[in-house]
Structure 1
């Protein structure tokens, strides 16, 4: 790893002072540091406020802590090859952003799908396809996640007031595009708060197992799902999730459990899912619902606003019916999760959406009937409660409006 600092004043804690008629009235002017971040990071380092270039697939090794100070911008360039910031199990990423000085990770071209975003690995519990406790990441890094002896309290650091822009590229031979933020078996010792995933080519946020929770999150303009998870993710303290799908966008939330019928499930409170008129599915098919449950996906969701999930007609003239909630692909999810009250949609306000009752997926004929008290429409739900500021403003546009 190499970093070129061009501002010795920062390293020594000195300031450059602006001119003033009185030294007592002078305002300190901090010159932003600059430098290149690349390769394996094997020793603790703090990047002071500055403008940095991230080049390549940068990995934070086990036993290493990397810290970014408030107001920093980290930019990569897709013309140089694959780029991503990867936190390996045992490593820590500390992002000390603030509401008025977020830390921004972006890409030079401002084109969705131009880099791999932030990827974090841990050894918190996972339950993968086939019932196992471990699997290999699909992101091109081919790294194992989960553990036969899991640590639910795994701590991958603290990501606070951070924004990832234009992510979603495939890395190396990855099976799928990466997301803005990707969490593989990340544990409850990790802090995820006031995060923005902006205009990526895949999901805004995706969890593969783990116990971590996320608060105050915005998924804006991501091509696939706003929020997505599998492999038995079970975060219990999630709140204030806001999604705005525009241009291209599939499900507001894609929820699955890798075909494992679990006794545990995630809990998310205060949710807003909005889709702008004219938004089309990324792949031009039936992915048009606010909530989609499949492969034994479940969970408890409350105080929800859903708006804009209407019908979609593809190029062949097939009409797909938008729904507040679809149970897609398998009747088993309906039998094990809906009928056994493992899916709860509570205090949910629905508008500008074709079907306001849960339905089976396209071309499926089983009946979806939520038990009493597990699907409760409302006119008083308030959804996510977030405060505007620089952290959620991009090119002068407030993402919450």
Structure 2
């Protein structure tokens, strides 16, 4: 497929998508024009057939209808290129011009916007103009002599969008070689970031009136730009050359001579009033981006495949940059530095001295891929700089080099006297550079390693970058500098490097860059079906990652790993551990009731959702399902761990049990066992009540240990129960359990975990809805040990009684369980708010209602009179008055509740505290156990401003 066809198909898909969604809606991200394939996190568009041209119109690479010559905007001229009409810009443009997105534009020769207004803006011949470019517009240059220059006093207003970036590229990229009589590009079918193409058109030069240092501070200084691009420099460091946002610049630059080179983009004397944000320069020559003096500031910059240096500065640049990705291309034979930083070559101490501030860079060479890759950061010729939160990796010469005496002097008189203007903090230099610090012998005024390691939070070690630019565990472990406290230009970050994670909310490169995020493919352990979904089946014995951008189907019982047994120190010889990792935003669909996921002992599930991109486990064809009524459409999730259970009553070790639904053995000897992590994850329509005694739940935590991390988990319309803990010590925070078909939070077999921040709302559409909490020690032995004894704080437990639902008991404590319950709200149950059953349970709660010496306690709890009865009266079966027991403890209250309804939610979905709830004296649970967050309120959600359920859950506000 040609590059033209690739881009045409991509844009046609985007146009088709725009017919289905509101393209201006930020909640839907389209694949970007110019991106080789859909980016992870954006979804995979359905293939679109390429339409046949209508008799009266032509369809070009962008899928746009090309109009007659008369429709080219004022300031351009119509040019016939093959069977297309392009709009040409040429010469010096002295009137404002707008390039509309409905046309494609050709640069003919050196195109200059405006006539230079001079260093101070008063040149008599000056004639400024503004070039405005609409989102999605494509501009190309046929040859190296075609370039765009913005003169001093003029502006470029190129404001693309994330879904419609502006693209500057070459004629060869558009397969226009034969139409324009230029030499065709060689064929290439490899990775976009390893393309050999470069220097196919001249590039972009922006000249401003900010100060430069070539005159060493003697009067207003100006200089002649390379490539005959005109004068730049002046007296206004806040000069505004316009807007450059969501822009791709591809295959640009012209190394005319060794000393006269056009770059991908040259910012010449550009001032801080210019907005530069979300810019990608790909395969630029000479350099990707070069700053010649001035004070230009940039955020979200991607430089890939620069033919020489990626990020270059000289002549006293004093700007700022944050969130910058630099990746070298092994196909570029002259690739040099990631950063090449000079004050000024002809005067190392000329003033104003270069001293930019840089934060959150990721700079990656191509050494490991056999590329010509020199130095990650070369600081020389007297430059200053403050560099923070940076990662440098994979360079074939060194990660860091400092040259020239003036640069060392500027850095401080020695490695231990870091009082100078060249500093590096919170930076990771990778040990996979050929050498980390370049040793220039006597030319080094001090030891570079000592200079680097003596500054704050710097690390030398292995890197673990994902996809060559996204932080892994090694990067995350480095202590970051809060750069927002250093300079208000910077956004606060708690991580080093350019991109914190694969999450769509963190990966700011998604959707608008070219070729940076690879096309997702079904992993090897899965099978692609006819619809393009990845089918997961059978037993997984190798680590498997479900990458974003694809759909996944669980077919049958899917088992992660082969059971490693109850004791990690003596694993079963037949065992085979594996880890299933699910990336943010991924949807995993169960094919039917017999399809479910089991994680065996010794294996792990890492469900790595985020608030903006939660992981979703749901039924197949989720868009056709009803969040109000559907349940039990697939089997659910079972996690088996090695923590202790009580079904053996402490007789012999280890104690094991067979999980329901043929889910395998669980239990063991390690209460700190780790079965992985579940973050921002939704489990919808799961569970299978196979028989009355053999039931798959939404999620079953079977013998799961305390090192398993569970935070921000919703189980909606689960059957039988939403969540059930079978023994073990699993701990969780931020649970949302909505619409359970039976019980919402269920425990048995000696569970001794902890939970905080729990929202339970029953669904009146579920006819079998039962308890909010159903709490057992063990049904076959009420006093079996270890006894169930969880600690639960800050729960709101809401039945559906007032909404006419089948809603039984809010909290049912029975079969010998212990528990410490704090800061709970219970309301709207059709039977009772609270019930205690079985003698063993009364006994563990204390000998009677006044001693309260037992292990079953409730403090700072509100039971609402909206329950049919507050305390269930079981007559002679109650050893003492449950009401007296409840009211005899600290800060407990019986009152009518005034919970606040959420915006858009049904009346029974009230869960935010009202005046009554916030009037109850809360227990400081952080003083009870360090697991708990300090809270000053009862219930799950104190107020709307702190609604931790917002944005990532389903159904609550529908």
Q: TM-score, normalised by structure 1?
A: 0.79
2:357 and 2:442 map into 1 onto residues whose CA distance is: 30
2:434 and 2:255 map into 1 onto residues whose CA distance is: 34
Are 2:344 and 1:260 aligned?
no
Counterpart position of 2:759:
none
What are the residue-to-residue correspondences of 1:386-397 with 2, within 5 Å?
A: 386-394=507-515
1:98 and 1:232 map into 2 onto residues whose CA distance is: 32
2:204 and 2:389 map into 1 onto residues whose CA distance is: 29
1:160 to 212, 225, 245: 245
Are 2:189 and 1:107 aligned?
no
Compared CA separation, residues 163 and 184, structure 1 to 2 (3 A): same
Counterpart position of 2:709:
none
**Greater Rg, structure 1 or structure 2?**
2
Counterpart position of 2:326:
243
8 A contact 1:91–1:156 mirrored in 2: yes
- SS of match in other structure, 1:367: coil
Per-residue displacement from partner, 1:249-281 (whole Å, max 9, x unpaired)?
111100110112656611011100011223544
1:264 and 1:174 map into 2 onto residues whose CA distance is: 23
Are 2:129 and 1:64 aligned?
yes
8 A contact 2:311–2:338 mirrored in 1: yes
Aligned residues: 349
Unaligned residue ranges in structure 2 (runs of 5+): 1-17, 20-62, 68-85, 115-126, 174-196, 414-418, 461-476, 479-494, 500-506, 520-958
Per-residue displacement from partner, 1:130-180 (whole Å, max 9, x unpaired)?
555534334221522212xx0111110000011111112146x79322111
8 A contact 1:127–1:260 mirrored in 2: no
1:201 to 274, 285, 288: 285
- Bigger mean CA deviation after superposition, 380-389 or 161-170: 380-389
2:402 to 327, 334, 351: 327
Counterpart position of 2:154:
91
8 A contact 1:201–1:222 mirrored in 2: yes
2:370 and 2:132 map into 1 onto residues whose CA distance is: 37
1:108 and 1:101 map into 2 onto residues whose CA distance is: 20
- SS of match in other structure, 2:411: helix
Shift of 1:227: 0.1
Which structure is higher in RCO with an 8 Å CA cutoff and minimum separation 6?
Answer: 1
Counterpart position of 2:595:
none
Are 2:444 and 1:355 aligned?
no
Counterpart position of 1:319:
none
1:355 and 1:250 map into 2 onto residues whose CA distance is: 15
Shift of 1:109: 2.3
1:74 to 117, 127, 139: 139
Shift of 1:324: 1.9
Shift of 1:55: 1.1
- SS of match in other structure, 1:332: helix
Counterpart position of 1:185:
269
The alignment's C-alpha RMSD in Å is 2.8
8 A contact 1:250–1:289 mirrored in 2: yes
1:129 and 1:288 map into 2 onto residues whose CA distance is: 31
Compared CA separation, residues 279 and 244, structure 1 to 2 (3 A): farther
8 A contact 1:344–1:374 mirrored in 2: no
2:274 and 2:429 map into 1 onto residues whose CA distance is: 33
Shift of 1:72: 0.9
Are 2:216 and 1:136 aligned?
no
Per-residue displacement from partner, 1:299-330 (whole Å, max 9, x unpaired)?
011111111013xxxxxxxxxxx2221012x2
2:440 and 2:93 map into 1 onto residues whose CA distance is: 46
2:370 and 2:214 map into 1 onto residues whose CA distance is: 32
8 A contact 2:383–2:410 mirrored in 1: no
**Runs of 4+ with deviation above 6 angstroms:** none
8 A contact 1:169–1:201 mirrored in 2: yes
2:211 and 2:136 map into 1 onto residues whose CA distance is: 34
Counterpart position of 2:410:
336
8 A contact 1:346–1:377 mirrored in 2: no
1:364 to 433, 443, 465: 443
Counterpart position of 2:303:
219
Shift of 1:388: 3.3
1:309 and 1:224 map into 2 onto residues whose CA distance is: 14
1:393 and 1:324 map into 2 onto residues whose CA distance is: 26
1:266 and 1:100 map into 2 onto residues whose CA distance is: 31
Unaligned residue ranges in structure 1 (runs of 5+): 1-17, 20-28, 282-286, 311-321
Compared CA separation, residues 138 and 66, structure 1 to 2 (3 A): closer
Counterpart position of 2:94:
42
- SS of match in other structure, 1:290: strand
Compared CA separation, residues 395 and 208, structure 1 to 2 (3 A): closer
1:375 and 1:59 map into 2 onto residues whose CA distance is: 47
What are the residue-to-residue correspondences of 1:162-177 with 2, within 5 Å?
A: 162-170=247-255, 175-177=259-261
- Bigger mean CA deviation after superposition, 301-310 or 33-42: 33-42
Counterpart position of 2:497:
383
Counterpart position of 1:278:
369
8 A contact 2:149–2:229 mirrored in 1: no
Q: TM-score, normalised by structure 2?
A: 0.35
Compared CA separation, residues 92 and 299, structure 1 to 2 (3 A): same
2:508 and 2:392 map into 1 onto residues whose CA distance is: 19
Per-residue displacement from partner, 1:11-31 (whole Å, max 9, x unpaired)?
xxxxxxx99xxxxxxxxx973
8 A contact 2:326–2:364 mirrored in 1: yes
Shift of 1:54: 1.4
